[in-house]
Amino acid sequence: MTRVALLALLAVLACSGGPRASGAPPNVGQVGARLQTEASVIAFMIDEGLRRGNVAADLRHLTDVIGPRLTGSVAMRRANDWTAARFREYGADAVSLEPWPFGVSWQRGPLTARLVSPHERWVQAASWAWAPGTNGPRVGDVRFVDATTRADFDRRFAGKLRGVWVMLEPPYARVNPFAATAADSSRVDSLRRVARRQRTADEIAFLRGQTSLLAAEGIAGEIIDGQKDYGLFTMSGSPDAIAPYPQVVVSNQTYGELHRSLAAGDRVRFEVNATNTFGRDTLVQWNTVAEIRGAEHPDEVVLIGAHLDSWDIATGATDNASSSVAVLEAARILGALKATGVRPRRTIRFALFTGEEQGLFGSQYYVMRHAQAVAMHQAVLVLDNGTGRIVSLPLQGRDDLHDLWTAMMRPLSALGPFTVRSGSKGGTDHLPFVQARVPAFNYDQLSRGYDYTHHSQIDVFDHVVLADVQQAAIVMAVNALQLANLDRRLTRPATP
């Protein structure tokens, strides 16, 4: 079944507004006698977050118990069910798992990789996600295929690549941070300038057809640069881009060694034995969605979001269990506030999206599923840049909201400092909402080593900064309440 056809089927099952109610309707208009001012409410929320948080326990369970959450895996569904139960425990009025159509499932199997010549040794490698296996050991020469157009390829490589392991890019330039020189830096700058140059129409056309061309040549497979220091990989892949041949990622250091040997004229041979498994049909996947209903404008929504899925070569702690748990903790804080009798004026919704790593699929389908309701969304706040504390809010083209955001951050100064800046961010689940003309934002966070943990083998609980996740949860909870309680709805831009 195609994704479009499955989406049509799921539309029949879709609820019209938001999550299904898990209990009685809210007692709208109830106000806690103890919390009468905005300052006292925010003080309560900060105290609740700092003194009674569940960040450590929830993060440990999501990473150490449920483990890696590759979209389409059994563990992904376990994470959906567990987070749904957690939202109920934390006081949500309604919780649901919202279905959407994904591609075929893929499961990583065992892999061994060996350099055969110019010397022999085992090397660390991993299959690119949604890449096929090798059907047994596959050994072949390595070639650097640096053609930029079809004419260039035909002249230099056509008919010469059968059984060859190809490298398609020069090594990602990295400099030893402990021994960098001016010459090293110049080399890096030069290589990166070349990589950034604008491609011609012929080059773009060649790149679009390169995979099919290499498959027709009968290559053994592709070797991909891991792009990180210390032998780490950057993992990626998608069911929307399944290559017809094996793809394996090796460390930047191994990739650079292969490239140097080829440049020196050495014969380089490589062997891979990889076993991966594909599903047979399009899968249904789910976003975990919960909400605390608004007392005055329940159809207007402030959404707090993060993606729940991860890559599978670690446990996805900083990308993105830390942000998912921050959303859970924000829900817990707002649930504790609700228990005192204080409700937001507008509905606050919590969304843990799936399929983000394969192309923002879950958030895109949320926007499609809730197309009419999204027009009434007040704002969307997304967290997705590692374990670091929130330090800034990029305005995503909404510089007209600078003064509002500055005022909103002021009561949180004890958790700061914070800045509000011009500029936009890409690559996270706020983007489908931006395209739908909803005021949507992705916070800036401290790096905390995210360049290393991101998509790598060390994205595990040990690299989470728990106090930073706690801070982020409080900031998001307070900002969501502030946006939910504004006297007016935020204006929409004329264009995305």
Mean pLDDT, the chain, integer: 91
Query: Between vectors from CA 387 to CA 386 and to CA 393, what angle results, nearest 5°?
Result: 70
- pLDDT, tens only, 232-245: 999 999 999 999 99
Which of helix, strand or coil describes residue 440?
strand
User: Which pLDDT score, from 0 to 100, does residue 494 have?
Assistant: 77
- pLDDT, tens only, 159-206: 999 999 999 999 998 766 666 555 554 444 444 444 556 889 989 999
**Amino acid residing at 72:** G
- pLDDT, tens only, 336-371: 999 999 999 999 999 999 999 999 999 999 999 999
Distances in Å between the alpha carbon of 210 and those of 152, 166, 217, 221, 289?
12, 12, 11, 13, 40
| Rounded (10°) angle between helices 322-339 and 466-484 | 50
CATH of domain 106-278: 3.50.30.30
Range 72-85 average pLDDT:
98
The pTM score is 0.90
Residue 147 DSSP class: -
Q: Residue 79's closest CA among 444, 360, 368, 356?
A: 356
Give 446 or 6, the one with higher predicted confidence. Answer: 446
What's the token pair of residue 483? 């946006």
User: Which pLDDT score, from 0 to 100, does residue 496 have?
Assistant: 75
**HSE-up of 384 (CA within 13 Å, CB side)?**
26
- pLDDT, tens only, 399-430: 999 999 999 999 999 999 999 999 999 999 99
**CATH 3.30.360.10 fits domain 3-105+281-484:** no
The burial class, CB within 10 Å (0-12 / 13-18 / 19+), for 52 is exposed
Domain ranges of the chain: 3-105+281-484, 106-278
